[in-house]
Structure 1
Amino acid sequence: MARESTCRFAILGMLCREPMNGYGLRSAIERSVGHFWQESYGNLYPTLDRMAEERLVELDPEEPSQGGRVRKVYRVTTAGRAALAEWLRRPTLPHVERNELLLKLFFGAQVGSEDSLAHVERSRAEAEGLLATLRLIDEDVRQSRRNDPELAYQHLSIRAGLLGLEAHLRWCDEAHEALQRLTGSTKKRGSR
């Protein structure tokens, strides 16, 4: 069975919160679910057009923007809300992660431990930055949306991101130690 594009459901979920244009949707996705879900403009706009044809979303009356161009603001329709609710009730499909770092480490013996060590160090630095950003998002969401009934649901995904990044940092430390030992043993063997 082919996987259905979930871009449409990310869009519907965001539009259930408030009407938005494409740029606003992309920004809202980045600010709220960006740590586990991303959409490109190249995918977002064609999906919005298809959803409008399917009457899952509709355009608000056209609003001129500051530059005089017309802004296309989308809102979810009753059919769109029903499609989102039906999708939310379906069981999730198994997910296999595509992780380039792990793939490179798996085959790392082909180039040696120094290159693998550099990959792990970069990944750790990146994860530290993401963790700091996600902690700020978590604090902001909990403060600004304190009385929002959706907060408990949204916090579950934020919490998964926080715990996942913390686990990744612990793994990076373990991988760093293991690769350092390999680097030491390789240098000893090469110096004989």
Structure 2
Amino acid sequence: MARESTCQFAILGMLCREPMSGYDLRGAIERSVGHFWQESYGNLYPTLERMGEEGLVELDREEHSRGGRVRKVYRVTASGRKALAEWLRRPVLPHVERNELLLKLFFGAQVGPEDSLAHVERSRAEAEGLLAALRLIDEEVRHSREGHPELPYLHLSIRAGLLGLEAHLRWCDEARDAFQRLARTKVSTKKRENDERSSG
């Protein structure tokens, strides 16, 4: 199944936990599965409306804000739970990763080690921030869901993210060392060429 069409299953999974509005769903996705699953928020609201038409979700209630805006809160239906369960039992399709950082490093010899090193440093800083945030999420989930049957499932998905980020940070350190050595070699080679030209 294509990535775009899984939006409805992310929504169904979240609504199985509790009724939510589209805004609530955005926040829940960001705080829980956001470290490994991203949804287009422009796609979320139309998908939610379509799911209502298909009977997968239904309106739980409408809440009126002071500004006059109506907040629609949805809940999952029996048909929605059945559709989610069927999807959860299907084999996972092979995932082809699109990693712009690795693509740029693969062709990095065209510009030199300094540019590649800068990409690695930015990626490392970003990974450090994500790791810190995910550790807080892990701690919050373990405390708030202690004894809950969902906890092993939630913890394993978070654990995969933690281990992946820790491995990425180790790789960044190796890449940094490699590019720093390349940069020093480049400077040394350039100096030797300049010395040779001067003496010639």
Pairwise same-fold verdict (TM > 0.5):
yes
For residue 105 of structure 1, what is the aligned residue in structure 2?
105
Q: CA deviation at 1:84?
A: 0.2
Aligned length: 191
Question: What TM-score comes out, normalization by structure 1 length?
Answer: 0.96
Percent of aligned pairs sharing the same letter:
80
1:147 matches 2:147: yes
Provide the C-alpha distance between the structure 2 equivalents of 1:65 and 1:157, rounded to a whole number of angstroms. Answer: 36
Offset of residue 50 of structure 1? 1.2
Which amino acid counterpart does residue 118 of structure 1 have in structure 2?
A
Contiguous gaps of at least 5 residues in structure 2: 194-200
> What is the distance in 1 between the residues matched to 2:115 and 2:24?
40
Q: Is the CA contact 1:26–1:40 (under 8 Å) kept in the aligned structure 2? A: no
**Corresponding residue SS for 2:135:** helix
- In 1, are the aligned partners of 2:61 and 2:74 still within 8 Å (CA)? no
Distance 1:40 1:66, change over 3 A: farther
Q: Structure 2 length normalisation: TM-score? A: 0.92
Larger Rg: 2
What is the root-mean-square deviation of aligned Cα atoms in Å? 1.1
- 1:91-111 Cα offsets, whole Å, 9 max, x none, are 000001111100110111111
1:19-168 equivalent positions in 2, closer than 5 A: 19-168=19-168
2:61 aligned counterpart, secondary structure = coil
What is the aligned partner in structure 2 of residue 12 from structure 1?
Answer: 12
Q: Distance in 2 between matches of 1:154 and 1:91?
A: 19
Moved more, 139-148 or 80-89: 139-148
Q: CA deviation at 1:185?
A: 1.2
Equivalent position of 2:188 in the other structure: 188
* Mapped partners of 2:43, 2:129: distance in 1: 27
CA contact (8 A) 2:55 2:79 kept: yes
Corresponding residue of 1:3: 2
- Per-residue CA deviations over 1:65-124 (Å, capped at 9, x if unaligned) read 243311111111111100000000000000011111001101111111000000000100
Asked if the contact 2:113/2:179 (under 8 Å) is kept, the reply is yes
Cα distance in structure 2, aligned partners of 1:142 and 1:12: 23
Runs of 4+ in 1 over 4 A off after TM superposition: none
